[in-house]
A and B are shown apart, each in its own frame.
Chain A
């Protein structure tokens, strides 16, 4: 069963054709990668799926309902999480608070509860605290709870960004270049983390440039070039595709 189904996604920025008629689907439990040269429209596709851009044309269906054109927070509540290409964190909040904000839409206590600190609010906050700690252990950022996010080194930053997205319990998690700027050992750590996330039942879609990483991890690869889909298939198929080789190496 397909979890996400995008049809004929087209996006123009004025005269610039960022995406042209891209069809795309993700099945439950898969790990799909999107690759392509810089400027081929990968991040634009993510932004359209998560509602940060409105598509010029095309429809997106998630778990059977249309989500095209909804605001980002509604799409997030529907169950699509994401990270950003330039690692986005709440810089001046503590590491723990970063994760707790990710739990926001699963809490129900309102503003009055928060001001009078009733029992409902307190138990909920306590539960959030525990869940956030569990999540930090899960992604491997421990012992840094009260540190400001801005003071973390780059790999823990990436892990924390994944934790913030993951703690909101998405069914589909979109990761925008998670391995960028990491060294070989860190990439192994990341691959292990992605494996654990998959085992927990979250479908993953990854934009990545590091081909070794993509080839080792993905079930399916989609290749974009200049806003069009030029190939799709298993890593083996895609790496043999003539158009892909031409796009990456030049004819």
Chain B
């Protein structure tokens, strides 16, 4: 019964993840996990776009920043309740993706990547210059955390402490992961992949490639934006570097190292390149150097990343068992 065993082990892993803050009472570790989950969401959104539809977006950091700023501004300046502001942040990010889709999908080649790079820089620039709204490079201080909710079995839960914010982040992360999985393994994911594999052929059987690319970019931008809102709510302080282009590039490195076009690849990549260097306290400059080298090695040696290596191993094992 490998099917049932697998389901049980998944539930076991999820339960264990939820129980971590009960067992580990170290603020630092939980803090690390929250950031791991938030950056993983950005990597997942990058992978949905690059791994499935084949569009290389460097603007995920920009969308992350828009989500964070939209949340903060709607709550602080417009007086919105926190939850609607968080959702609105995701939607604003997604809407920003639309003009880029309209401009770039008529062009072939690398224009999409170039355009998203420009977009990311424009977003950071705008957030820096538009002082009246964003407070410029001083950033916004005292962003209120997302409001607590009432759970029937646990009573009123607030998300003010690291320990209570962790389950919230984990829940949203698992939802994003699940939706990504469902999308990728459905008709939609299949169509995305068909466009990645051969756009001309897919349009010759009646698939509208530009529509699907725009939809994928929209969803991906929304996930990044929601992650950004969560970040702003958790950390309580944002500045233009919250939309740094490096966030998007980091998502790229995580995805490629973990396994492009696999569900868990970006998460594993992030664990390896985000969380472990953080635990080891490696200097950020040295870290970037390591990313560069790792990226080159992975692309040369194992273009399908860690998940690709694992899959090949499993297939080889099955093959030898059959013989």
Q: Does A12 contact B (CB under 8 A)?
A: no
**Does the CB pair B201–A90 fall under 8 Å?**
yes
Chain A 106-143 per-residue mask, 1 if CB under 8 angstroms from chain B, else 0:
01010100110100010001000000000000000000
**Does the CB pair A115–B186 fall under 8 Å?**
yes
Complex interface: stretch among B116-124, B140-148, B188-196, B278-286 = B188-196
For the complex, give the distance between the alpha carbons of A89 and B187 in Å: 17
**Does the CB pair B205–A88 fall under 8 Å?**
no
Write the nearest CB–CB distance from B313 to chain A, whole angstroms: 18
**Does the CB pair B183–A89 fall under 8 Å?**
no
Write the nearest CB–CB distance from A207 to chain B, whole angstroms: 15
Q: Does B182 contact A (CB under 8 A)?
A: yes
**Does the CB pair B194–A72 fall under 8 Å?**
no
Complex interface: stretch among A16-24, A37-45, A96-104 = A96-104
Q: Which positions 187-223 of chain B face chain A at CB distance < 8 Å?
A: 187-188, 190-191, 193-194, 197-198, 200-209, 215
Q: Which of A91, A107, A117, A165 has a CB less than 8 Å from the CB of B204?
A: A165
**Does the CB pair B200–A72 fall under 8 Å?**
yes
**Does the CB pair B206–A93 fall under 8 Å?**
no
For the complex, give the distance between the alpha carbons of A82 and B204 in Å: 7
**Residues of B contacting A105 in the complex (Cβ-Cβ under 8 angstroms):** 205-207
**Residues of A contacting B193 in the complex (Cβ-Cβ under 8 angstroms):** 90, 92-93, 97
> A102 with B205: in contact, given A93-B194, A117-B182 (CB under 8 Å)?
yes
Q: Does B98 contact A (CB under 8 A)?
A: no
Q: Which positions 46-87 of chain A face chain B at CB distance < 8 Å?
A: 50, 52, 71-73, 76-77, 81-82, 84
Q: Does A164 contact B (CB under 8 A)?
A: yes
For the complex, give the distance between the alpha carbons of A165 and B186 in Å: 21
Q: Which interface class (under 10, 10 to 19, 20 to 34, 35 or more) fits A?
A: 20 to 34
Q: Does B235 contact A (CB under 8 A)?
A: no
**Does the CB pair A107–B187 fall under 8 Å?**
yes
For the complex, give the distance between the alpha carbons of A19 and B171 in Å: 60
Q: Does B102 contact A (CB under 8 A)?
A: no
Q: Does A33 contact B (CB under 8 A)?
A: no
Q: Does A203 contact B (CB under 8 A)?
A: no
Chain B 168-192 per-residue mask, 1 if CB under 8 angstroms from chain A, else 0:
0000000000010011001110110
Q: Which of A50, A88, A104, A107 has a CB less than 8 Å from the CB of B198?
A: A88
For the complex, give the distance between the alpha carbons of A107 and B190 in Å: 13
**Does the CB pair B187–A114 fall under 8 Å?**
yes
Centre residue among B179, B190, B209 by max chain A CB count within 10 A: B190
**Does the CB pair B206–A168 fall under 8 Å?**
yes
Q: Which positions 28-64 of chain B face chain A at CB distance < 8 Å?
A: none
> A90 with B182: in contact, given A105-B205, A111-B188 (CB under 8 Å)?
no
> A90 with B206: in contact, given A114-B186, A115-B179 (CB under 8 Å)?
no
For the complex, give the distance between the alpha carbons of A216 and B198 in Å: 33
**Does the CB pair B187–A90 fall under 8 Å?**
no
Q: Of all chain A residues, which has the CB nearest B181?
A: A115
Q: Of all chain A residues, which has the CB nearest B180?
A: A115
Write the nearest CB–CB distance from A176 to chain B, whole angstroms: 11
For the complex, give the distance between the alpha carbons of A3 and B204 in Å: 19
> A104 with B206: in contact, given A84-B200, A84-B201, A90-B194 (CB under 8 Å)?
yes
For the complex, give the distance between the alpha carbons of A81 and B183 in Å: 28
**Does the CB pair A164–B182 fall under 8 Å?**
no
> A72 with B182: in contact, given A88-B198, A111-B215, A125-B187 (CB under 8 Å)?
no
Write the nearest CB–CB distance from A105 to chain B, whole angstroms: 3
**Residues of A contacting B188 in the complex (Cβ-Cβ under 8 angstroms):** 111, 114-115
**Does the CB pair B201–A77 fall under 8 Å?**
no
Q: Of all chain A residues, which has the CB nearest B219?
A: A111
For the complex, give the distance between the alpha carbons of A163 and B208 in Å: 20
Q: Which of B186, B187, B201, B209 has a CB less than 8 Å from the CB of A164?
A: B201
**Does the CB pair A93–B197 fall under 8 Å?**
yes
**Does the CB pair A101–B204 fall under 8 Å?**
no
For the complex, give the distance between the alpha carbons of A56 and B220 in Å: 38
**Residues of A contacting B208 in the complex (Cβ-Cβ under 8 angstroms):** 71, 73
Q: Which of A73, A100, A115 has a CB less than 8 Å from the CB of B206?
A: A73
- Which are the 4 A-B pairs with shortest beta-carbon distances? A105-B206, A114-B186, A90-B197, A76-B206
Interface residues of A (CB under 8 A from B): 50, 52, 71-73, 76-77, 81-82, 84, 88-93, 97, 100-102, 104-105, 107, 109, 111, 114-115, 117, 121, 125, 164-165, 167-168
Extra 11 A-B pairs, beta carbons < 8 Å, given A73-B207, A89-B197, A93-B193: A73-B203, A76-B206, A81-B204, A89-B198, A97-B194, A101-B194, A105-B205, A111-B188, A121-B187, A165-B204, A167-B205
Interface residues of B (CB under 8 A from A): 179, 182-183, 186-188, 190-191, 193-194, 197-198, 200-209, 215
